[in-house]
Each structure stands twice: as C-alpha cells, then as structure tokens.
Amino acid sequence: NADINGARNILAAGHAALACGERADSGR
C-alpha cells in the first residue's frame, strides 16, 4: 500500500508539473 501511495504521489506531482508547464507555455 505504501508503495502504491508513493507511486500515486509521484504521478500526481508529475501531472501537476505538466499542468504548470502548459500554463507557463500558454502564458508566454
């Protein structure tokens, strides 16, 4: 369970980073 939660956190962080990157690119 801990490993699964960790993986979910990593995926969530990755999606957040992509979303922030897309916003930054569109902002330019």
Which structural domain, as residue segments, surrounds residue 17? Answer: 1-28
Which DSSP category does 20 fall into? Answer: H
The residue with tokens 């369970």 is 1
Indicate the pTM of the whole model.
0.48
Per-residue pLDDT of the chain (28 residues; tens, 9 = 90+): 889 898 898 888 877 777 777 777 765 5
Q: How many domains does the chain have?
A: 1
Which residues lie below 8 Å from residue 13, measured CB to CB, with a gap of 6+? none
3-state helix, strand, coil in the chain (%, to 5): 95, 0, 5
Token pair of 25, please? Answer: 């690119």
